[in-house]
Amino acid sequence: MLNLVLFGPPGAGKGTQAEFLIESYGLNHLSTGDLLRNEIAASTPLGMEAKRYMDNGELVPDSVVIGMIKNKLEAQTDAAGFIFDGFPRTVAQAEALDQLLNENGTPVSGMLSLEVVKEELVARLLNRGKTSGRSDDQDDSVIENRINVYNEKTLPLKNYYAAQNKHFGINGMGSIEEIAARLKEAIKAL
């Protein structure tokens, strides 16, 4: 079973590359950002709570996100593998994911970390904000906060996975096709 964690700062191309990986490897896609936006669109209590954090570029509380992933994993027992996109984002989330997957004897295969310079991240997000309608992509200070929150709370996960020999840095600069080819090489070596 191939369980990939697709990692990187906001705008690194996680969602973009996830689409390619799903197609190439037949994996189930679990994007916490998409799941949360679905909850917001459906105006559920969970969505309304999450929106307050997302609009400010803050992380949604661990308990909410972990509960959501647990439900999805339990509902998809026939999957060939998963691509985790935007999850885990904190050490507590990574520990919870390890526990959930280890219970099934199907641990994380590798964490693929897309590396992109800050100027490019900001440019990509502002560009998406022109058409996506995503409020968190339209405001410079919210984007700045998302990147700061990433550096403070999410970046430490590199060490978490490196300690398990599961961290693989990938150059996330260049065309979508070039980056997809680099990911494929890294997956071959897993």
Which residues are catalytic, by number?
A: 14, 89, 128, 134, 146
By CB under 6 A, name the one of 4, 5, 36, 73 that touches ligand B4P. 36
DSSP assignment of 131-147 equals HH--GGGS-HHHHHHHH
Is 167 a binding residue for ligand B4P by CB under 6 A? The answer is no
Dihedral pair phi/psi, residue 16, rounded to 5°? -65, -50
CB closest to ligand B4P, residue no: 33
By CB under 6 A, name the one of 80, 117, 176, 181 that touches ligand B4P. 176
- Write down the least CB distance from residue 120 to ligand B4P, Å: 8
Contact 11, 144 (CB under 8 A): no
Q: ∠ CA(89), CA(60), CA(86), 5° rounding?
A: 35
Report the distance separating Cα 188 and Cα 181, nearest Å: 11
Q: Which is nearer to ligand B4P, 93 or 113 (CB)?
A: 93
Is 96 a binding residue for ligand B4P by CB under 6 A? The answer is no
- Write down the least CB distance from residue 16 to ligand B4P, Å: 4
> Collapsing DSSP states into helix, strand and coil, what is residue 169?
strand
Q: Which is nearer to ligand B4P, 8 or 110 (CB)?
A: 8
Is 14 a binding residue for ligand B4P by CB under 6 A? The answer is yes
Strand order from edge to edge, sheet including 110-115: 28-31, 81-85, 2-7, 110-115, 167-171
By CB under 6 A, name the one of 2, 124, 161, 170 that touches ligand B4P. 124
Is 51 a binding residue for ligand B4P by CB under 6 A? The answer is no
Is 48 a binding residue for ligand B4P by CB under 6 A? The answer is no
Dihedral pair phi/psi, residue 28, rounded to 5°? -80, 140
Positions in 97-116 near ligand B4P (CB under 6 A)? none
